[in-house]
Structure 1
Amino acid sequence: MISRKALLVIDMQRGSFTEATPRHNTEGVVQIINSLATTFRAKSWPVLFIQHDGSTMNEFVPFTTEWELLDDLKTDTGDIRIDKYANDVFYRSELGQKLDMLAINELVITGCATDFCVESTIQSAVSKDYNITVIEDGHTTGNRPNLQASQVIDHYNWVWKNMIPTKGKIEVLSHHLFLQQVLDK
């Protein structure tokens, strides 16, 4: 089966990156996402920006400042925007339909927050038999009550490396290794 990849950029929105909610290595993660997105666009692979729509909770309301993507993220007119309504991007969103329409079978996953929306989306994608590549240095979160953000990130990278997929595959790679593999093909 031919691999048809899409880059998912989850919840890299202003409202998730405030002084009250600092995130681990934000600048580095944004640079990594930008690098990946540039490569995906050059190969005519889709880049999907997922934005949380929390209208029902009166937060992350579309077209407000907190809903907007981070200023340093480079977007393109050909990129796809998907609204999400729960931690799992697939839940009641247009993501599944869009991926089917584009015949995507491999998801490359980045974004925020490692332990919430990124994790929920990976679990959901595994059960939907997608091939998954998690960019191990391309997701972020904040400090938690008993863990530093870097520990949370390391923990989930370990979990995903040891996860048993249903039908597809799951890999956890640094952005350098992923880009090297893509460019070597």
Structure 2
Amino acid sequence: MDALIVVDMQVGLLNGEPKHDLRGVVERINQLAARVRERSGTVIFIQRCGGKGDDFEPETPGWALLPELYREPADIVVRKTLNDPFAGTDLSARLQAIAPDRILIAGWATDLCVDATVRSAVSNHHDVVVVTDAHTLNDRPHLDAASVIRHHNWVWGHLITQRSIRLARTNELLL
């Protein structure tokens, strides 16, 4: 059984520069979530809680999960205040209770919160699958978004870990 972690896919991410292939990323996350649920897995949405005046301030429009995401009552929402959703939350305990065979990771932003989630999941002794075409960000001052995504996919594929870390496209995981 799988758990799918969807990182910070909230309305507040629509502010600022456009996110790389956001519509496609949302569609692929919805496809993966449906497949995980069909196979008795668990979908976990990570919800960033920003400070006062932040685009992700709790109970403001930007804090809400994107309305385009298909959600089910059994889905879990974990609220976080740091890049790493394992730090200061009950995510680790929830995953321990679920005991997934592997954790699929998708969401926003590739180089910050998605990266922290991948590394922390591995450090917390989980087998991880990074969904290479289901994470996004906007261009950075020094690098375009597509290059950041390629770079992080490469880095994650070369992490030194005692657990499994795999990179896969959505269509491979839907089979």
- TM-score by length of structure 1 reads 0.90
* Alpha-carbon shift at residue 21 of structure 1 (Å): 3.0
Deviations 1:66-85 (A, max 9, x none): 00111211111111111011
Structure 1 residue 153 corresponds to structure 2 residue 149: yes
Q: 1:6 aligns with which of 3, 7, 24?
A: 3
**Percent identity of the aligned residues?**
40
Q: 1:102 aligns with which of 78, 91, 98?
A: 98
Give the whole-Å Cα distance in 2 for the aligned partners of 1:92 and 1:105: 24
Deviating runs (4+, > 4 A) in structure 1?
Answer: none
* Alpha-carbon shift at residue 28 of structure 1 (Å): 0.1
Which blocks of at least 5 consecutive residues in structure 1 are unaligned? 181-185
Give the whole-Å Cα distance in 2 for the aligned partners of 1:63 and 1:94: 20
Deviations 1:63-120 (A, max 9, x none): 2110011121111111111101100010101101111111234210000000000001
* Alpha-carbon shift at residue 22 of structure 1 (Å): 1.5
SS in 1 for 2:84: coil
Give the whole-Å Cα distance in 1 for the aligned partners of 2:163 and 2:40: 23
1:140 match = 136
1:35 match = 31
- TM-score by length of structure 2 reads 0.95
Give the whole-Å Cα distance in 2 for the aligned partners of 1:170 and 1:51: 24
2:88 match = 92
Structure 1 residue 169 corresponds to structure 2 residue 171: no
* Alpha-carbon shift at residue 163 of structure 1 (Å): 1.4
1:183 match = none
Which blocks of at least 5 consecutive residues in structure 2 are unaligned? none
Q: 2:60 aligns with which of 64, 78, 85?
A: 64
1:124 match = 120
